[in-house]
Amino acid sequence: MEEYNFDSFEEYRDSVNRYEEMLRNEENYFFDSQAFEGIIDYYIEANEAVKALQVIEYALSQHHFEGSFHLKKAQILLALNNYEDALIALKTAELLEPSEFEIILTKASIYSKLKNFDAAIAILNDALYTTEDENKIEVYFQLAALNQERNSFYQAIHYLERILEMDKDNEDALIEIEECYDNTGNFEKAIEFFKAYINTNPYSYLAWHILGNTYHKIEKYELAIDAYDYVILINEDYEAAYYNKGNALVSLEKYAEAIEVYKKTFEYQTPSADTYCALGDCYERLNELEQAREYYKKAVKSFPFMGDAWLGIGSTLEQEGRNYEAVHYFKKAIRTNSKEEEYWYALANVRYKIGQLDLAEEAYQEVIAINTDAVDAWLDYSSLLIEQNRVAEAISLIENAILHNEESDELYYRMVLYYFLDGSYELAINYLEVALSLNPENHYLIFESIPKLKDNVIIKEIIKKYIGE
């Protein structure tokens, strides 16, 4: 029997070659446990779990009482969703090395995958009394993750706060706390937490950044910008603060300022497709269409699958009256994501505009198939049908739209118009009553298309009931 020992990671690849040669030659070589661990890890990193398991079986034939091999076997079986066999392997590992910390974490993970959260949490809680302080942070992270998985977000926050008590600068804990508060939707409580944290850790740029993000989520954009400015004061090369400050400025419609802030990110990292696209959007909103198109093109050059940038190019062309060219770019946007309603809606509208009614109709159908709540698409589609004197089809379409959007007064007002066109005056009046009950202020919608209805005595009397003189 030939013996090999390996001391460095570089030699593990060599050991893999020798191991595979051994299999081909149907021979037996001896490897020490460290070399076997290297071979196993090599196959795990190469996503070849079956080969890794085969190595473990061979390793156990030479090192019968090596608990680490049983542990690795359990971890691989866990990754393969073979939980019962993973527990069997872990039980053997536990007999050989009962105090091994990784065994505790792996067992908790298996029970978590089996949705036995109580058992997993009990294992981890027990570990808090037996494990060294240096490992307790990992236990708290696992407890937090388990509670997040079962939607117990405040309990998860409790464990994450314990981590911060042990390591006040633990950025992973801060990020997880932000995610937990996001899941609760309690942004005011999140703000309270991060402001308190900042009071004792005023130079935590990450905490300031999370505070800014949280203000942004509740549309307090000025406060978000203030927080991002503190991030930049503490860590001026933190690119995300500039980008998110730019987003907040866009929300405040301060597009020129946003452009300057977005461009600042280029000083600290290679320009990204997202930033190019954001710049294009700002220039488009400022009606600087050529400049907008330049940045959209930079975005798709950087990342050809950025549909929003292709959409932006098409949008700027459409605004310049170059509608046939716009079609080409809207189709490119759709090719990046055929389930994005905005892309189909843009294509539908521009095809409608240039008289390609059959193709526009197909595009509108795609929009409402993706999102039945797209009220504007239902309305525009019905207008296309009316333009072709397909009144009965338009009525049927809006009836279907109402089934999905019962609270949309615009759909009821549109039905009033179509039933008047159809000569079904009683039905028109019925729908007018419903529309007015939902939103009387929008009664003007029926007069935009049929101005002579203003002189209809019955309609005037009905409207008066809801809005007075």
Please spell the DSSP secondary structure of 175-222, one letter per residue. Answer: HHHHHHHHHHT-HHHHHHHHHHHHHH-TT-HHHHHHHHHHHHHTT-HH
Query: Which residue carries 């101005």 as its tokens?
Result: 451
Q: What is the tens place of the pLDDT at every residue in 378-432?
A: 999 999 999 999 999 999 999 999 999 999 999 999 999 999 999 999 999 999 9
Predicted local distance difference test score (pLDDT) of residue 11: 57
pTM listed for this prediction: 0.80
Helix (H, G, I), strand (E, B) or coil at 29: strand
Predicted local distance difference test score (pLDDT) of residue 104: 86
Token pair recorded at residue 126 = 């027990």
Beta partners for 3? 30
Q: Would you tell me the crossing angle of helices 273-285 and 239-251 to the nearest 10 degrees? A: 20
82's enclosing H/E stretch is: none
Token pair recorded at residue 411 = 């759909």
The region, left, alpha or beta by phi > 0 then psi within -120 to 50, assigned to residue 132 is beta
Predicted local distance difference test score (pLDDT) of residue 130: 81
Alpha carbon distance 290, 312 (integer Å) = 11
Predicted local distance difference test score (pLDDT) of residue 172: 96
Length of the chain: 469
Q: Which residues of the chain have pLDDT under 50?
A: 1-9
Number of C-beta neighbours around residue 268 at 10 A? 13
Number of C-beta neighbours around residue 451 at 10 A? 9
User: How many degrees, rounded to 5, is the angle at CA 351 between CA 402 and CA 398?
Assistant: 10
Predicted local distance difference test score (pLDDT) of residue 7: 47
Residue boundaries of the structural domains of the chain: 419-469
